[in-house]
Amino acid sequence: MDGRIFHYCQENKNLVAFVSITEEQQVCSNALILMPGMTEGFMSMSYTKELSAELLKLDYSMVQVNLSSSFMQFGFSSLKQDCQELTKLLKTLEKVYKFQKIVMLGHSTGTQDVLYYLRYGELSEMVSGVILQGAVSDRDYLTTWEETPRLKQEADKLMAERKPQALLSERLFGAPITAERYASLIGRLGDDDMFSVDLTEAELEPILSPVKVPIFLCFSEDDEYVPDKDAQKILAERMTSLLKKNADVVECKYIPGDHGLSNPEHYKAFVHSTCTFIANYI
């Protein structure tokens, strides 16, 4: 997988991105920004390499971005900070590469980044299409953990004491996490709470209404992070109905596989569906 690595934020030299290039060492006319979920970053997704190769055939370069929240740093960050850094990335892409179209693809918590950016991002008009893979609820999953009530109480106490950046006594997915980020993930209608099965149409509307470009929702039939799969399918129908009020094209699909599509047969199906959607609608 060939490409170029570059800085996109002069204030923080740790913030870099990687853009895929063709065999002729050229950047394509269009770009797809890939945003993985918590604990993930460059090359984390099972389908990264194959999707990048297939996108090149459509004249799309994949852009992988290292955010302050990438890999095990998510506990110190927020969707707001991700949004600010994505604006810096988009400004660099516009200045240096002058892409004609930019698609955002989010996986897991990366899907929250995509929707948050369309709602609040300074350059959201630059986004030509959206793909959400594994857009499921952190709150629904974490409520199945025995330790969650105790950690939620601890986070709520620290927030009430105006100590949002204080670290919780335990890690989440192996990473240190602040009271503020934990509250965002576990709290009803927190910034990260976009896909919980109990959200009403009225609560989903401000989250989804900013999507005015073609959008592809792809869910996994055997997602291990979905406690109630029947309820999640009802939510997906509710989301699709709301999205159709504003988006040009809305496609929703379930494919076999786990949350990260670890099986090659499953991620190949996702890659095919994604490239077909881009070719047909963006």
pLDDT (tens digit, 9 = 90+) per residue, 220-252? Answer: 999 999 999 999 999 999 999 999 999 989 999
119 in Cβ contact with 262 (< 8 Å): no
Name the amino acid, one letter, at 28: C
pTM comes to: 0.97
Residues paired with residue 107 on neighbouring β-strands, in sequence order: 133
Which residues, including other chains, have CB under 8 Å from residue 218's CB and lie 6 or more apart? 131, 132, 133, 134, 252, 253, 254, 255, 270, 273, 274
Is the distance from CB of 221 to CB of 256 less than 8 angstroms?
A: yes
Token pair recorded at residue 118: 């369309």
Q: What is the pLDDT of residue 145?
A: 97
**Beta strand 16-20 pairing with 30-35:** unpaired
Q: What 3-state DSSP class applies to 7?
A: strand
**Mean pLDDT computed over every residue of the chain:** 97
Inter-residue contact 64 to 18 (CB < 8 Å): yes
